[in-house]
C-alpha cells in the first residue's frame, strides 16, 4: 500500500511539473499571466506531493518493511530510530528523492515571493526549476525507484519489481543489511543534507540568470534578487564540506581530514565556482563589469552541482567505465551536456547586450583584484578537475591509465591558495575604480608590520618550514588587515557619534552587513588556514606495540597503556576498547579510549580514534591491533596534530559571518532608489517583449 | 586631441590587464604540467607488472589485485604487513563481462595459475583487509619483484553498495 502511494505521488509530481513547464511556456507565448499563474500553482503543488513520497519512505524505514529493497539495503533492526529516519538519504534512491524534495521547497519559496516588478522573469524561473525537478523525478522513477520490492514468482525464483508480478508473492526478509557503520556518525548524518541544501539553492541563482538571459534583461536585477540565495547556498555547501572533513577525521582513523578523493573533489568543484561567483557579482553591481563572466560562472556552477550530486552518491567514481554500467550515469552526462549547451547558446545570443558599462583602469583597483581572485579560484577548479579526470584523459590518449595522487593537489593548489590569502589581505584595502601603490601602502603598513613581526617571532622560535612561514605570514596579514578595518570603522564611528567602542562596532557591522559579514568570513578562512597549516606541516606520528604499563611519547605527551576490554553492545556491535592515560610534562591529563567496533549485521569493523582536542593541538590515538588472550599487548598509532581545531572553529565563524552578510538590510532608502531604476527598466523591457 | 589621448590611455591600460591575466594563467598551466609529471602514477595489473618488471623498477605504480587471505602476515611489533595478491583485470568493463567484481575476485583467489604479487606495507592493517577483497595499492616495485606499497586501499564488493570516499578504506 505505502509503496504504491509513494510511487503514485512521484508520478503525479512528474506530470504536474511537466504541466508547469508547458503552462508557463504558453503564458510566455500568449503573454497571458493566467497561464503563468497556473504554472506557479502547479509548481507549488510539487512540494506536498514529494513530501508525501518522502513520508512514505520514512514510514517504511521506521516500520522495517524489509520487503522494500531500499529499506533492506539501508536499515537493520538494531539501528536506533533517528538513524532509520535519516536513512532516507543513506542510499542513492532515497537521496535523489530527498534532493527533489529540497528542490520543491526552494522552488515553492521562490515563487511565493512578490513578483510585481519582475513578472517577466517568473515563467522562466518556473521553467528552469521545473526542468531540473522533472529530470530528477524521471531518474528516480525510471532508474532509482526507492519503492521496488522483493517478490517470489513461481517458476522464476526471486525478483525485484515495483508492481506485483504474475503470481508473485512478497518476500519479507528477517532483517536488513543496515546502514554502513562508517556512515553512522552525526557528521555524516548532517553532512549530506547540508551539501544538498547548498547544491539545490545554487539552482535558484542559475534559474534567475537564465531568465535574465532569455528575457533579454541587461541589468543586474537577477544578481540582486539572488544575492541572498547564493550566499545561503554557499554557506550550506561550506558547512557540508567542513562536516565531511570532520567526519573523515573522526571516523576514518588515518589522522587526516581530506584526501582529494573524487567524491570530495566533486563537492568542492561547485564550491570553487560558487565562491568565484560570489565575489565577481560585486563587480557587476558596483561597476557594471563582467556581465558575461558572471553568466558563465552561474551556468558552470549549475552544471557542477548536478555533476556533484551524481558523483557524491552513485559510487561510480572509482572508474569512469562504471558510468556505462548504470543507466543513470549516461543520463546525467546527457542532461549536464544539454543544459550546458543550451545555457551557453542563450548567452551567446545575448553576448552583445551584455557588454561592460566601463573599463578597468587601475591594476590595483578593487575590480582588478577581484578579477585576480576569480582567476585563482577558477585556476584551482581547473587543477582539481584535471586531477579528477586525468586517469581518463591519459587512458584515452596513451592507452595507459595514469593517475595523480594527493601530492599533486597539494603542490599545485598550495601556491594558488597562498596567492588567495595574499589577496584577502590586500583587496579589502583597495578602492573601486582607481587605486595606487601609495594609497594601498598607506593602508597596509600597520597590518603589514604586524605580520612581519609575527614572521620574525616564528623564525626565532624555530619554525623552519618555508610553507608554514609563508602561510602563517600571509594569513596573519589577512587577519590583521581585517581586524584593522573593523578597528578603523569603529574608531571613526566612535568619534562621530560618541558611542562606546563596542556599540560602535556593533552598529558598524549592522549597518554594513554585507561588507562586515564578508570580513568575518575572511577571518574564518584565516582560522581554517591556520588549522590546515597546522595539520599539513606540523603533523607528527609514532606507533608501537605496548603491554600494560608501557608508554609511548610524542610531542611532549606520554601515553601509557592501561588495559583493554572486549565486549558486546546491545546495538549489535562487538567493541574492543583500550584505556590509555595521557600526561604531559608529568601532569596527568586523563584517559583516552581508542576502540574498534565490529558490526555484526554488516560484518564490518570500524576504527574510532581516541581524541584529546585543545585549541593548541590534538592528540589522536588509533587502536591498530591487539592480542586477544595471551600477553594483552596492543598496537597503537599516535598522531599529534597541532592547531587543527582552528579548522572547525573557523567553520563556526564562517556560518556566523554568512548569516550576518545574508541578513536582510533594514535600510529602506537604498531600496527605494533601486526600485525606481528597476521600474523604469522593467517598463522598457515589458514593452519590448509585448 | 584630448579624446584620442584618453583612448590611448585606455588601450594601454587594457593591455596590462591582458598581460597580467595571461601571466597568471600561464603560471597555473605551468604548475599543473610540472606537478602532473612529478605526481603521475601508472595504473598496472599484476600481469603487466610481471611482463614489464625491469622497465618499471622505481616508478610510482598503482596496482589492484585480489587478496589471498592465507598469505596475510602482520608483524604487530613493527607494523609490517605482508600478503599476496592475485591478478585481476584492470578494466571494469572486463570485470563486468566476467561476471562482476565479487566473482572475479573469487576466481582469481581460487586459480593457482594466476600471476601473484607479494606486497609489503608498513603501517596499520586496514579494517577491510581479508580474503577476496580487492586491494588497490600505490608504491614501487623492487628489484626482487616485491611490491613496496606506500598506500593501501581496500574494497569489498558486497559491502560497498554505498558511495564511500576511497579514503574510508585507507589507513
DSSP string, A466-508: HHHHHHHHHHHHHHHHHHHHHHHHHHHHHHHH---HHHHHHHH
Give the pLDDT confidence score for residue A630 in this predicted structure: 53
User: CA–CA distance from A52 to each of A89, A98, A106, A513 (Å)?
Assistant: 16, 12, 17, 39
**The pTM is what?**
0.86
Which grid coordinates belong to A481? 588587515
pLDDT tens for residues A327-386? 677 788 899 999 999 999 999 998 888 888 877 778 888 888 999 999 999 999 999 999
- The answer to whether A408 contacts B39, with C-beta atoms less than 8 Å apart, is yes
Range of the domain at B63: 42-169
Q: Which of A492, A511, A530 is the last residue of a domain?
A: A511
- Closest residue, chain A, to B164 (C-alpha): A315
A637 vs B: CB within 8 A: yes
Quote the CA–CA distance of A319 and A92 in Å, as a whole number: 18
**Same domain membership, residue A306 and residue A270:** yes
Which 598-627 residues of chain A touch chain B by CB within 8 A? 602-607, 622, 624-625, 627
Q: Which CATH number do you get for residue B124?
A: 2.40.50.140
For residue B91, give the nearest of A321, A416, A622 by CB distance. Answer: A321
**Same domain membership, residue A336 and residue A466:** no
**Same domain membership, residue B115 and residue B70:** yes
Quote the CA–CA distance of A617 and A646 in Å, as a whole number: 9
Quote the CA–CA distance of A645 and A557 in Å, as a whole number: 18
For residue A637, give the nearest of B13, B39, B124 by CB distance. Answer: B124
Q: Looking at residues A448-458, what average pLDDT do you find?
A: 92
Residue A556 has pLDDT above 70, yes or no: yes
**Same domain membership, residue B55 and residue B29:** no
* Domain assignment of residue A535, yes or no: no
**Same domain membership, residue B53 and residue B36:** no
**Same domain membership, residue A428 and residue A450:** no
Q: What is the CA radius of gyration of chain B?
A: 25
Quote the CA–CA distance of A666 and A85 in Å, as a whole number: 39
* CB < 8 Å to B38, chain A: 407-408, 411
Shortest CA distance to A78 belongs to which of A576, A597, A625?
Answer: A597
* Domain assignment of residue A71, yes or no: yes
- The answer to whether A372 contacts B13, with C-beta atoms less than 8 Å apart, is no
Quote the CA–CA distance of A188 and A639 in Å, as a whole number: 23
| Count: domains in chain A | 4
Q: Which of A179, A213, A239 is the last residue of a domain?
A: A179
* CB < 8 Å to B163, chain A: 92, 263, 311-317
**Same domain membership, residue B140 and residue B78:** yes
Would you write out chain B's pLDDT as a tens digit for each of its 171 residues? 444 444 444 555 678 888 888 888 999 999 888 888 887 888 888 888 888 877 788 788 888 889 998 899 888 777 889 999 999 887 766 777 777 777 888 888 888 888 899 999 988 777 778 888 888 888 888 888 899 998 887 776 543 333 333 433 333
**Same domain membership, residue A458 and residue A420:** no
**Same domain membership, residue A380 and residue A484:** no
Instruction: Chain A: give the shortest CA distance to residue B110, in Å.
Output: 22
**Same domain membership, residue B67 and residue B139:** yes
A74-106 burial by CB neighbour count: b if 16+ within 10 A, else e? bbbebbeeebbbbbbbbbbbbbbbbbbbbbbbb
**Same domain membership, residue B92 and residue B82:** yes
* CB < 8 Å to A88, chain B: none
For residue B124, give the nearest of A73, A622, A633 by CB distance. Answer: A622
Our CA angle for A328, B163, B150, nearest 5°, is: 130
**Same domain membership, residue B22 and residue B47:** no
**Same domain membership, residue A545 and residue A503:** no
The residues that bridge with A583 in the sheet, in sequence order, are A558, A588
Which 40-69 residues of chain B touch chain A by CB within 8 A? 40-43, 62
Interface predicted TM-score (ipTM) over 0.85: no
- The answer to whether B31 contacts A322, with C-beta atoms less than 8 Å apart, is no
Q: What is the CA radius of gyration of chain A?
A: 28
User: CA–CA distance from A454 to each of A459, A476, B48 (Å)?
Assistant: 9, 8, 53
Shortest CA distance to A24 belongs to which of A46, A44, A43, A39?
Answer: A39
DSSP classification of residue B128 = T
* Domain assignment of residue A98, yes or no: yes
Quote the CA–CA distance of B37 and A686 in Å, as a whole number: 56
| Count: domains in chain B | 2
pLDDT tens for residues A119-169? 889 999 999 999 999 999 999 999 889 999 998 888 878 888 888 888 888
Q: Looking at residues A515-539, what average pLDDT do you find?
A: 92
Q: Which helix (H) or strand (E) holds A208?
A: helix A203-215
* Domain assignment of residue A273, yes or no: yes
Residue A461 has pLDDT above 70, yes or no: yes
**Which of B153, B165, B171 would best serve as a mutation to test chain A binding (most A beta carbons within 10 A)?**
B165
Residue A322 has pLDDT above 80, yes or no: no
**Same domain membership, residue A412 and residue A293:** yes
* Domain assignment of residue A45, yes or no: yes
Shortest CA distance to A654 belongs to which of A520, A516, A508?
Answer: A520
**Same domain membership, residue B113 and residue B151:** yes
The answer to whether A110 touches A79, Cβ cutoff 8 Å, is no
- The answer to whether A317 contacts B163, with C-beta atoms less than 8 Å apart, is yes
Residue A136 has, within 13 A of its CA and on its CB side, a CA count of 29
Q: Which helix (H) or strand (E) holds A451?
A: helix A437-460
**Same domain membership, residue B50 and residue B29:** no
User: In which band, very low, low, confident or very high, does the pLDDT at A677 lie, cut at 50, 70 and 90?
Assistant: very low
Instruction: Chain B: give the shortest CA distance to residue A64, in Å.
Output: 19
**Same domain membership, residue A268 and residue A201:** yes
Range of the domain at A165: 1-179
**Same domain membership, residue A545 and residue A506:** no
**Same domain membership, residue A263 and residue A148:** no
pLDDT tens for residues A276-303? 999 999 888 888 888 899 999 999 999 9
For residue A635, give the nearest of B25, B76, B171 by CB distance. Answer: B76
Contacts of residue B112, Cβ cutoff 8 Å, sequence gap at least 6 = none
**Same domain membership, residue B146 and residue B64:** yes
Instruction: Chain A: give the shortest CA distance to residue B3, in Å.
Output: 16
Q: Which helix (H) or strand (E) holds A597?
A: strand A595-599
**Same domain membership, residue A169 and residue A315:** no
* Domain assignment of residue A506, yes or no: yes
Shortest CA distance to A609 belongs to which of A183, A255, A263, A175?
Answer: A255
* Domain assignment of residue A477, yes or no: yes
CB atoms within 10 A of CB B34: 12
Q: Which helix (H) or strand (E) holds B46?
A: helix B46-51
**Same domain membership, residue B46 and residue B116:** yes
**Same domain membership, residue B51 and residue B135:** yes
Which 103-162 residues of chain B touch chain A by CB within 8 A? 123-125, 127-128, 138, 151, 155, 159-162
- The answer to whether B164 contacts A183, with C-beta atoms less than 8 Å apart, is yes
Q: Looking at residues A16-36, what average pLDDT do you find?
A: 93
* Domain assignment of residue A10, yes or no: yes
**Same domain membership, residue A276 and residue A210:** yes
User: CA–CA distance from B81 to each of A252, A622, B66 (Å)?
Assistant: 19, 17, 16
Residue A666 has pLDDT above 70, yes or no: no
Quote the CA–CA distance of A433 and A427 in Å, as a whole number: 13
Amino acid at each position: 500500500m505505502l509503496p504504491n502511494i509513494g510511487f503514485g505521488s512521484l508520478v503525479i509530481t512528474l506530470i504536474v511539473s511537466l504541466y508547469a513547464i508547458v503552462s508557463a511556456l504558453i503564458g510566455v507565448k500568449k503573454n497571458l499571466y493566467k497561464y503563468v499563474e497556473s504554472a506557479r500553482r502547479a509548481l507549488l503543488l510539487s512540494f506536498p506531493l514529494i513530501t508525501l513520497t518522502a513520508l512514505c519512505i520514512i514510514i517504511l524505514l521506521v516500520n522495517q518493511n524489509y520487503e522494500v529493497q531500499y529499506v533492506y539495503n539501508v536499515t537493520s533492526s538494531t539501528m536506533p530510530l533517528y538513524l532509520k529516519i535519516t536513512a532516507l538519504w543513506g542510499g542513492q534512491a532515497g537521496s535523489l528523492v530527498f534532493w527533489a524534495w529540497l528542490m520543491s521547497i526552494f522552488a515553492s519559496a521562490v515563487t511565493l515571493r512578490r513578483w510585481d516588478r519582475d513578472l517577466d522573469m517568473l515563467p522562466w524561473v518556473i521553467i528552469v526549476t521545473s526542468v531540473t525537478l522533472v529530470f530528477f523525478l524521471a531518474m528516480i522513477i525510471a532508474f532509482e525507484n526507492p519503492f521496488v520490492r522483493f517478490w517470489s514468482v513461481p517458476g522464476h525464483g526471486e525478483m525485484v519489481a515495483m508492481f506485483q508480478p504474475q503470481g508473485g508473492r512478497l518476500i519479507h526478509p528477517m532483517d536488513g543489511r543496515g546502514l554502513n557503520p562508517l556512515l553512522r556518525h552525526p557528521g555524516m548524518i548532517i553532512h549530506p543534507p547540508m551539501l544538498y541544501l547548498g547544491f539545490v539553492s545554487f539552482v535558484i541563482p542559475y534559474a534567475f540568470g537564465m531568465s535574465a538571459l532569455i528575457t533579454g534583461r541587461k541589468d543586474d536585477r537577477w544578481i540582486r534578487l539572488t544575492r541572498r540565495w547564493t550566499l545561503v547556498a554557499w554557506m550550506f555547501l561550506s558547512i557540508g564540506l567542513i562536516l565531511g572533513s570532520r567526519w573523515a577525521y573522526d571516523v576514518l582513523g588515518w589522522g587526516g581530514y581530506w584526501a582529494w578523493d573524487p567524491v570530495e573533489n566533486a563537492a568542492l568543484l561547485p564550491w570553487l565556482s560558487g565562491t568565484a561567483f560570489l565575489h565577481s557579482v560585486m563587480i557587476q553591481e558596483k561597476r557594471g563589469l563582467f556581465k558575461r563572466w558572471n553568466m558563465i560562472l552561474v551556468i558552470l556552477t549549475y552544471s557542477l552541482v548536478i555533476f556533484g550530486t551524481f558523483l557524491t552518491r552513485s559510487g561510480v567514481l572509482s572508474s569512469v567505465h562504471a558510468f556505462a554500467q548504470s543507466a543513470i550515469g549516461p543520463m546525467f552526462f546527457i542532461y549536464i551536456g544539454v543544459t550546458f549547451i543550451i545555457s551557453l547558446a542563450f548567452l551567446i545570443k545575448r553576448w552583445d547586450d551584455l557588454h561592460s558599462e566601463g573599463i578597468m583602469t587601475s591594476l590595483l583597483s578593487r575590480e582588478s583584484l577581484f578579477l585576480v581572485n576569480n582567476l585563482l579560484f577558477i585556476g584551482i577548479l581547473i587543477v582539481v578537475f584535471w586531477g579528477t579526470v586525468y586517469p581518463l584523459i591519459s587512458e584515452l590518449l596513451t592507452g595507459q591509465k595514469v593517475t595523480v595522487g594527493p601530492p599533486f593537489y597539494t603542490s599545485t593548489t598550495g601556491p594558488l591558495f597562498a596567492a588567495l590569502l595574499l589577496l584577502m589581505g590586500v583587496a579589502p584595502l583597495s578602492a573601486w575604480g582607481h587605486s595606487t601603490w601609495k594609497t594601498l601602502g598607506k593602508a597596509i603598513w600597520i597590518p603589514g608590520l604586524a605580520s612581519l613581526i609575527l614572521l620574525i617571532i616564528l623564525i626565532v622560535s624555530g619554525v623552519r618550514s618555508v610553507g608554514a612561514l609563508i602561510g602563517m605570514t600571509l594569513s596573519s596579514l589577512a587577519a590583521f588587515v581585517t581586524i584593522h578595518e573593523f578597528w578603523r570603522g569603529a574608531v571613526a564611528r566612535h568619534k562621530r557619534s560618541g558611542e562606546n567602542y563596542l556599540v560602535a562596532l556593533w552598529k558598524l557591522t549592522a549597518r554594513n552587513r554585507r561588507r562586515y559579514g564578508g570580513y568575518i568570513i575572511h577571518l574564518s578562512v584565516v582560522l581554517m588556514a591556520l588549522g590546515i597549516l597546522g595539520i599539513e606541516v606540523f603533523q607528527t606520528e609514532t606507533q608501537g606495540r605496548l603491554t600494560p604499563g608501557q608508554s609511548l611519547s610524542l610531542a611532549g605527551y606520554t601515553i601509557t597503556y592501561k588495559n583493554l576490554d572486549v565486549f558486546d553492545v546491545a546495538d549489535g556491535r562487538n567493541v574492543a576498547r583500550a584505556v590509555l592515560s595521557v600526561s604531559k610534562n608529568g601532569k596527568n591529563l586523563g584517559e583516552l579510549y581508542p576502540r574498534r567496533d565490529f558490526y555484526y549485521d554488516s560484518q564490518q569493523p570500524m576504527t574510532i580514534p581516541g581524541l584529546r582536542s585543545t585549541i593548541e593541538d590534538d592528540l589522536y590515538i588509533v587502536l591498530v591491533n591487539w592480542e586477544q588472550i595471551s600477553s594483552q599487548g596492543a598496537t597503537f598509532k599516535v598522531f599529534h596534530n597541532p592547531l587543527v581545531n582552528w579548522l572547525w572553529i573557523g567553520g563556526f565563524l564562517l556560518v556566523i559571518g554568512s548569516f550576518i552578510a545574508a541578513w536582510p538590510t533594514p535600510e529602506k532608502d537604498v531600496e527605494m532608489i533601486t526600485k525606481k531604476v528597476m521600474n523604469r527598466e522593467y517598463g522598457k523591457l515589458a514593452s519590448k517583449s509585448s | 586631441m584630448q579624446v584620442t589621448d584618453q583612448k590611448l590611455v585606455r588601450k594601454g591600460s587594457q593591455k596590462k590587464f591582458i598581460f597580467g591575466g595571461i601571466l597568471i594563467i600561464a603560471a597555473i598551466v605551468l604548475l599543473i604540467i610540472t606537478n602532473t609529471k612529478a605526481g603521475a602514477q601508472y595504473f598496472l595489473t599484476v600481469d603487466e607488472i610481471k611482463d614489464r618488471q625491469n622497465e618499471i623498477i622505481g616508478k610510482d605504480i598503482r596496482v589492484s589485485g585480489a587478496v589471498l587471505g592465507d598469505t596475510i602476515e602482520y608483524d604487530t611489533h613493527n607494523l609490517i604487513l605482508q600478503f599476496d595478491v592475485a591478478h585481476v583485470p584492470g578494466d571494469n568493463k572486463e570485470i563486468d563481462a566476467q561476471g562482476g567484481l565479487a566473482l572475479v575476485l573469487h576466481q582469481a583467489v581460487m586459480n593457482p595459475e594466476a600471476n601473484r604479487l607479494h606486497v609489503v606495507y608498513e603501517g596499520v592493517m586496514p579494517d577491510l583487509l581479508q580474503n577476496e577483497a580487492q586491494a588497490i595499492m600505490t608504491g614501487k616495485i623492487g628489484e626482487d619483484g616485491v611490491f613496496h606499497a606506500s598506500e593501501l586501499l581496500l574494497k569489498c564488493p558486497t559491502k560497498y553498495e554505498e558511495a564511500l570516499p576511497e579514503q574510508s578504506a585507507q589507513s
